[in-house]
Structure 1
Amino acid sequence: MTLSQTEPGTDHRNVITTLNPGGPPLPPGGDLLYMRSVGRNDSLHFLFCSQGAPSLLLVHSSNPDAMLKVDWLHFLQRNSSSNLRVEPESSVVHSIALVFSRLWEYQDLNDTADPRSDPGSVFPPDELQDVDWSRVRLSTLSAELCGAIRMRNGSICVQLSVFEEWGRDELWPRLLHNSDSAQLKFWLDGLTPRTAHSRFLLELRTVSGAPLETVQSVRSIDDEYTPSIFTVSQWRSNSSLSFVQWKPVAYRDRSARLEVATPLTHWYPQHQDPVSAATTSGLVLGYYGNNTKTIAMNISFGLSGEPFYKDFMSWTLLVGIGDPPLDQFSVLVWSVLLVGLGSPLLLLLLGGACVCVRHLTGPASSTYEPIN
């Protein structure tokens, strides 16, 4: 199945979407979605896969005509590498993969929002490679994947959105995006918590030719698009070839709004398995092989004093190549600054002008003495 969008223009990409390219319509073990985003001088290749843990692979090629090749026989067997490649391989500039590998739940009786303070409160993780994932549901430039954890109610969902040009999502946190990026939304819907004081952690793993370094926070005074949030978190490589970006906020309701916003934090687990991403994701194994170096990060939903998980939680992030898009001061902020700082200066100038005019136009002094 193939969907073709509009022709590329200035700062514009043409996106062509294919589900299970060259393979069976309903491959066993999950779908492989291929979204090819073509620019004037290069191409981006987004692969979204549910063979194992849900994963996204982004490959940047300097050739606009580059194409994905899949060896479906070996890809489905998941016992060898190099069965996924973008050709010509010499045109590949960079690649990065994200794997939603595990979901942790812990009982936060002391309201610390940090399971490291009480390791005994952490339940065994839900391995997302073992989730019964649905078939990929397609829309124009997005795809959705949902699954159910065995022996538990509710569902886990991941949504991918690819963009042809600059813009902003209509829903909070309203991340700014460009045509070199894609947006991922992760949410828990109706998942029954094990306790009344449960909080969740999401383990996110990355695989990249240029490993991502420490997360940096970029501050701003403008919270027009995400009220009460003044920072953007960026997970980037030293070479600045790719990035993962998000705002440190999640939402406890399907209708994201300020009243249900909850802060989130990130931290790195002490022990990291260098091959776990390959063993849990057929996409990572097929492209990178077994000998992959991964970096894991835990996203912790909620801080001390925040409400505990009830029945919903959503988080949105952006992944792309080059420099991440950053908000500039909006017209509203510039207007506030102009009024707040400009008004006193304007009053001072007007006051000074009035004094000068009064002094210059006042009555001239007389040379005659008054007669009594």
Structure 2
Amino acid sequence: MSMFKVHFIFSVLFVVFGAALGFLGNGDTFRRKVSVELNPGLNPPSSLPPGVALVHARGLGLNDTLHFLLCNHGAPALLLVHSNSTESTVQVNWPVFINRSSPGSLTVAPESSVTYSSALVFTRIWEYDDVNNTADPQTTAESSFYTPYELQNFIWTDLNATANQSDHMITLCGRENTESFVNGSLCLKLSVFESAGRDGAWPSLLHNANSSQLHVWLDGLTPRGNRSRFALEFQSVADSGFQGRVDVRSSIDDEYTPSIFKMLMCGVFRQVFDWVSLPLNSSSVWGFSQWKPVAYRKATPVFEDATPCRNSPLVSVSRVPPSALVQAFFTHEPQTHGLNISFGVDKDPVLYSDTGYISWTVLMGMGKPPADSFSTLIIIIIAVGLCTPLAIIIVGGVFVCVRKRMTRSSIYEPIN
């Protein structure tokens, strides 16, 4: 029985230790003090066009500051600036910024404190008639594409009505002045975080205090074709001393994104995509955009509402995207790359017209992308799955040995 006790103790220690590792793996305790403001320093007579605003989220650390700036003047863009000073501030020359007359009208001071900056810009929505049901824009004939929706021409709702500054969330909704967008809108919801955690809504991406999240959805758009599908074009802008690449890595997707389990046999969802920014001649990651290849067909999705999405190869773009924020901040010919995210899968019977809704989520941050580790639940399941058969074998072996010894001793008569 002593052998069984040793194994039992080992099993308990394995479970406890594994659970501790699960907690430690997700136990990023670093925090930032986050504050959100609209149009910093804007005073009359200067005024932005109707529906246009500049959102500044400031994440104050122990010895540095992260500045996240979201602006819909031109194509909507999210700018990330890292400063090694806790006193750094955003300064805007509003007359020049509004007229988009010259670069340098938006700075983070002192400029010498800025160590890294990059921007994510949403430029177009592509629509194509998927007559062959491939859900792949790269194999679709050029004649099947409709004129793209240029996001720089969108009309945006008032940000003051959708800003939740206490929860550090901003929702930006806009539409094009066309018949297709009479009842439709494209929305971007920015969330900035004080500490590590997960969004409650699927796909529940893991975030930390060095990241922000953009939840993007297309709602109520009238398709122009019988089998219309959509793709979202976005571009990354970074300093000239950095290079970008898209890394694909395996993900230990557990209970946080349950829709992923359904497609494991197809090998579609079991990946995480990291669009990383690295210094030239170095492999160290300074910034990232991260997403899972899954989108959802309803605002409050259930298991069956998940659909795969895919991205096109990364391409170099010769011109800076039409964003006032990017044009105002970057002054030394930054590096620009772009790709498309398309929604749907080959032979997918559900089209956008069936639900009139599609959503997708991306993280943007500083440093290495967050990585999922084994959750406590998965560790306990593995431990129980491995230890239970061993325990049964050992208990059975001990029982057989004891039974044999009892049988042998019973054949002898007691000595008087």
Per the normalisation by structure 2, the TM-score is: 0.81
Paired residue for 2:37?
18
SS in 1 for 2:396: helix
Q: Do the aligned partners of 1:162 and 1:181 also contact (CA within 8 Å) in 2? A: yes
Any residues of structure 2 matched to 1:201-220 within 5 Å, and which?
201-209=231-239, 210-220=242-252
CA displacement at 1:363 relative to structure 2:
2.8
Partners of 1:172 and 1:261 in 2: how far apart? 9
CA displacement at 1:236 relative to structure 2:
1.2
Letter in 1 for 2:170: A
Matched, 1:275 2:322: no
Partners of 1:31 and 1:39 in 2: how far apart? 26
Partners of 1:175 and 1:130 in 2: how far apart? 31
**Aligned residue pairs, count:** 355
Paired residue for 1:240?
285
Q: Do the aligned partners of 2:259 and 2:306 also contact (CA within 8 Å) in 1? A: no
CA displacement at 1:62 relative to structure 2:
0.9
Matched, 1:138 2:163: yes
Partners of 1:341 and 1:269 in 2: how far apart? 43
SS in 1 for 2:387: helix
Cα offsets for 1:257-306 (capped at 9, x unmatched): 22111100001376x532141xx100000001372321001001111122
Q: Do the aligned partners of 2:251 and 2:372 also contact (CA within 8 Å) in 1? A: no
CA displacement at 1:37 relative to structure 2:
0.7
Paired residue for 1:64?
86
CA displacement at 1:87 relative to structure 2:
1.1
CA displacement at 1:215 relative to structure 2:
3.2
CA displacement at 1:144 relative to structure 2:
0.7
Matched, 1:194 2:224: yes
Match of 1:226 among 257, 265, 269: 257
CA displacement at 1:365 relative to structure 2:
8.2
Q: Do the aligned partners of 1:274 and 1:292 also contact (CA within 8 Å) in 2? A: no
Partners of 2:246 and 2:256 in 1: how far apart? 26
Q: Do the aligned partners of 1:217 and 1:232 also contact (CA within 8 Å) in 2? A: yes
Cα offsets for 1:304-357 (capped at 9, x unmatched): 122111211100110101111122211221222123222111111112222333
Partners of 2:309 and 2:397 in 1: how far apart? 51
Partners of 1:367 and 1:164 in 2: how far apart? 76
Letter in 2 for 1:255: T
CA displacement at 1:15 relative to structure 2:
1.0
Match of 2:63 among 38, 41, 59: 41
Paired residue for 2:11?
none
RCO comparison, higher one (Cα < 8 Å, 6+): 2
Q: Do the aligned partners of 1:102 and 1:127 also contact (CA within 8 Å) in 2? A: yes
Match of 2:213 among 183, 206, 217: 183
Q: Cα gap change, 1:362/1:207 in structure 2, threshold over 3 Å: closer, same or farther?
A: same
Letter in 1 for 2:389: P
Letter in 1 for 2:175: A
Q: Which segment is superposed worse, 135-144 or 261-270?
A: 261-270
Paired residue for 1:250?
295
Partners of 2:304 and 2:80 in 1: how far apart? 35
Paired residue for 2:115?
93
Matched, 1:166 2:196: yes
SS in 2 for 1:343: helix
Partners of 1:330 and 1:214 in 2: how far apart? 26
Q: Cα gap change, 1:147/1:365 in structure 2, threshold over 3 Å: closer, same or farther?
A: closer
Partners of 1:97 and 1:201 in 2: how far apart? 20
Matched, 1:28 2:58: no
Q: Cα gap change, 1:305/1:364 in structure 2, threshold over 3 Å: closer, same or farther?
A: same
Per the normalisation by structure 1, the TM-score is: 0.91
Partners of 2:248 and 2:314 in 1: how far apart? 17
CA displacement at 1:360 relative to structure 2:
4.0
After superposition, the CA RMSD in angstroms is: 1.8
Q: Do the aligned partners of 1:207 and 1:293 also contact (CA within 8 Å) in 2? A: yes
SS in 2 for 1:211: strand
CA displacement at 1:119 relative to structure 2:
1.6
Structure 2 segments unaligned to the other structure (5+ residues): 1-28, 261-269, 279-283
Q: Which segment is superposed worse, 131-140 or 222-231?
A: 222-231
Q: Do the aligned partners of 1:80 and 1:289 also contact (CA within 8 Å) in 2? A: no
SS in 2 for 1:363: helix
SS in 1 for 2:104: coil
Paired residue for 2:177?
150
CA displacement at 1:16 relative to structure 2:
1.5
Paired residue for 2:263?
none
Partners of 2:116 and 2:403 in 1: how far apart? 70
Partners of 2:292 and 2:116 in 1: how far apart? 25
CA displacement at 1:170 relative to structure 2:
0.8
